[in-house]
Chains A and B, each alone.
Chain A
Amino acid sequence: TAGITQAPTSQILAAGRSMTLRCTQDMRHNAMYWYRQDLGLGLRLIHYSNTAGTTGKGEVPDGYSVSRANTDDFPLTLASAVPSQTSVYFCASSPTPVGIQYFGAGTRLSVL
């Protein structure tokens, strides 16, 4: 079972360019999440989706957008990347919004 898959695993991106981080889960979980992790800080929630067709803003949503067209996929888009978006991005899913979360392996993004 694949679980939750993120792509790419790493990326170097020029400032001002756009990029979509992909996240796919095969566990039929209702809830999905995008976090960023920066050195010395805890995970910070960017956007979430409690069920297909709905999304919500987390703690640090600015500069990011998401969509949830179906249960399995939850892409994160940076419309115009800035260096402060250099981070490790984790996608997670859970059966319900209050359940244990299962994490992808992360995407390491450097914006130069």
Chain B
Amino acid sequence: KNEVEQSPQNLTAQEGEFITINCSYSVGISALHWLQQHPGGGIVSLFMLSSGKKKHGRLIATINIQEKHSSLHITASHPRDSAVYICAVLSRMDSNYQLIWGAGTKLIIKP
């Protein structure tokens, strides 16, 4: 079993729909990252959070440390939100911190 699991793997929705992408992890973490990878390949960090909730524009990220679960929500989705969304957790291994990556969720928003 992977240490970071994302669901769904693929998601297609209509423009305007509320989108939820989930991330579950099985290791102790210091923080959790959500990133976006555009169809052209570029990777951009969206959020880094260790508790509660963060909001940026139409994007909301939440984390429940006790349940080892995070969600990324997109309100009023738009075709330009089509991308792969990646969850990664920062975990301490030996004397170093390393990111453990999920496989990503491919989101397609249809007009």
Which residues of A line the B interface, CB within 8 A? 40-45, 48, 50, 56, 58, 88, 90, 92, 97-103, 105-106
Q: Considering the chains assembled together, what is the distance between the CA atoms of A97 and B48 in angstroms?
A: 13
Main secondary structure of the interface of B (DSSP, over half): strand
- Size of the chain B interface, CB-CB below 8 angstroms: 21
A105 touches B96 (CB 8 A): no
Closest to B44 in A: A103
Quick one: which of A41, A43, A103, A106 has the most chain B CB within 10 A?
A43
Closest to B33 in A: A100
Instruction: Determine whether B90 belongs to the interface, using a CB cutoff of 8 Å to chain A.
Output: yes
Which residues of B line the A interface, CB within 8 A? 4, 30-31, 33, 41-45, 48, 86, 88, 90, 96-99, 101-104
B98 touches A45 (CB 8 A): yes
Interfacial chain B residues near A101, Cβ < 8 Å: 33, 45, 99
Interfacial chain B residues near A103, Cβ < 8 Å: 42-44
Closest to A97 in B: B97
Interfacial chain B residues near A48, Cβ < 8 Å: 98
- Assuming the contacts A42-B103, A43-B86, A98-B30, asked whether A106 and B96 have C-beta atoms less than 8 A apart, the reply is no
Q: How far is the CB of A76 from the nearest CB of chain B, in Å?
A: 17
Q: Considering the chains assembled together, what is the distance between the CA atoms of A58 and B101 in angstroms?
A: 12
